[in-house]
Amino acid sequence: MENGGDDKMEIIAYEMKFHKDIIEQSNILCIPFEEKYFPSYMCIYNECFYEMRKAHLPCDVVERPNSIVYPAVANLVLDSLKYRMAQQNDDGRWPLGWSFGDDKGLKRLQTKYETYCTLAMLEKLDRFDMIEK
């Protein structure tokens, strides 16, 4: 959007169209978000991810060595990073510890998310100078 000096405004709009074949059918029911269901959503979310959320380590909280709290917990952070390094799979990814599901599409999505988590872990290890170069 541009605003010229003559009080005229130009608006540029783009249209996106899907020009491929129909996506394979799924048994997943998608419904729009409704505020009235939010407490139910939160309950389901909390039940699903409770185990994952309670497993935080110092390295999950302290993102950088220049963090204000790092000097006080440096040994804990470095030990927890070593622990995380030991969890790396043989294929190089870090496992999530939980599954998206058995559907082929969900398995692909999980692989992509594990790849994202792996890149984030490698960046963190690099910030803490724990990757050989």
Q: Which two tokens stand for residue 119?
A: 């890149």
Q: What is the pLDDT along the chain (133 residues), one digit of tens a residue?
A: 444 455 666 666 556 566 666 666 777 776 676 778 777 777 776 676 655 555 578 888 899 999 998 999 999 999 999 998 998 989 898 888 778 888 888 888 888 888 998 999 999 999 999 998 8
Closest residue by Cα to residue 82 from 116, 59, 51: 59
Closest residue by Cα to residue 126 from 48, 58, 64, 83: 64
pLDDT for res 58: 86
pLDDT for res 34: 76
Strand partners, 2: 10
pLDDT for res 48: 67
Closest residue by Cα to residue 88 from 54, 122, 62: 122
Closest residue by Cα to residue 90 from 118, 67, 68, 116: 118
